């Protein structure tokens, strides 16, 4: 399992996790809650929905991020998962955290034109609130299920209609990134934005900060999380990020990645230095 979407609703954390036995394949999305970020309680023994309910799944889908709009609508952002087709991004909505959830039939973002930096589609979106709506960050690929990725950005006033920025906001540069970026997770802090992201080797994660959400500054030339930091053996995969009281809290999926070894969610915290 991985942490999927994480929504902080007035001090109550809501996790919409992805649970699966094969990837890519069928995924079930479960709702859990927590008041301290450590102990989690399932809201129900049943999933809120599965990838079978996602019209654009190919064959699977992952819940990746979520938010609550000004009118109280709960939104989960979903990536399709395919080994052959460009990944697309869609939405599911509900009147409250417990649903019922309705998956919209059409994607909200689709791959770029042939030959473009995001022609292979989008993966692992992360949505953050801004002063004039919402910003979505994602790994844009030049080829499906592989290739080279950079971090793109799209914006929305209402959380439903999105406009892509033509160029990525963060491209591979550091030696440890090995020419590709992945898994952006973005939060708003006091007066700026923070992003934790992966390089081509998913075990390594870097930190970047931005005043405007467009121009990003890496925090050092080395990753801030490596395999040496893991409390267990295995690879790292998906993640979620939240912020509060000057602290970044990062939920990271770690494990062998096979049905016999499985994966689990681990928690890392880091204080952001005051300016």
Write out the chain's pLDDT in tens, 275 residues: 999 999 999 999 999 999 998 878 899 999 999 999 999 999 999 999 999 999 999 888 999 999 999 999 999 999 999 888 899 999 999 999 999 999 999 999 999 999 999 999 999 999 999 999 999 999 999 988 778 999 999 999 999 999 999 999 999 999 999 999 999 999 999 989 999 999 999 999 999 999 999 999 999 999 999 999 999 989 999 999 999 999 999 999 999 856 667 899 999 999 987 66
What's residue 259's pLDDT? 61
Contacts of 218 (CB under 8 A, 6+ apart): 173, 174, 206, 207, 208
**Residues whose CB falls within 8 Å of the CB of residue 39, separated by 6 or more in sequence, listed in order:** none
Please tell me the pTM assigned to this model. 0.96
CATH number at residue 201: 2.115.10.20
pLDDT at 176: 97
| Total count of domains within the chain | 1
Residues 6+ apart with CB under 8 A from 64: 4, 5, 77, 78, 79, 124, 125, 126, 238
Q: Which domain holds residue 100?
A: 2-271
- Give the pLDDT score at 203: 95
């Amino acid at each position: 399992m991985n942490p999927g979407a994480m929504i902080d609703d007035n001090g109550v954390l809501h996790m919409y996790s992805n649970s699966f036995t094969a990837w890519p394949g069928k995924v079930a999305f479960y709702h859990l809650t927590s008041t301290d970020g450590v102990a989690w309680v399932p809201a129900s023994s049943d999933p809120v929905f599965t990838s079978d309910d996602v019209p654009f799944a190919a064959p699977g889908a992952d819940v990746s991020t979520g938010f609550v709009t000004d009118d109280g609508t709960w939104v989960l952002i979903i990536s399709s998962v395919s080994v052959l087709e460009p990944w697309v991004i869609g939405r599911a909505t509900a009147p409250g955290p417990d649903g019922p959830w309705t998956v919209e039939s059409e994607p909200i973002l689709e791959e770029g034109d042939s030959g473009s930096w995001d022609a292979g589609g989008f993966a692992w979106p992360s949505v953050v609130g801004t002063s004039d709506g919402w910003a979505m960050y994602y790994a844009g690929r030049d080829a499906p299920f592989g290739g080279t990725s950079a971090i793109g950005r799209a914006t929305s006033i209402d959380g439903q209609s999105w406009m892509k920025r033509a160029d990525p906001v963060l491209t591979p540069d550091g030696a440890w990134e090995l020419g590709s970026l992945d898994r952006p997770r973005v939060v708003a802090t006091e007066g700026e934005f923070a992003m934790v992201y992966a390089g081509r080797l998913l075990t390594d994660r870097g930190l970047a900060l931005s005043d405007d959400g467009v121009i990003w500054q890496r925090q050092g030339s080395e990753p801030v999380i490596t395999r040496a930091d893991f409390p267990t053996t295995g690879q790292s995969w998906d993640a979620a990020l939240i912020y509060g009281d000057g602290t970044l809290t990062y939920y990271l999926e770690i494990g062998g990645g096979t049905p016999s070894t499985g994966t689990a969610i681990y928690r890392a915290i880091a204080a952001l230095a005051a300016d």
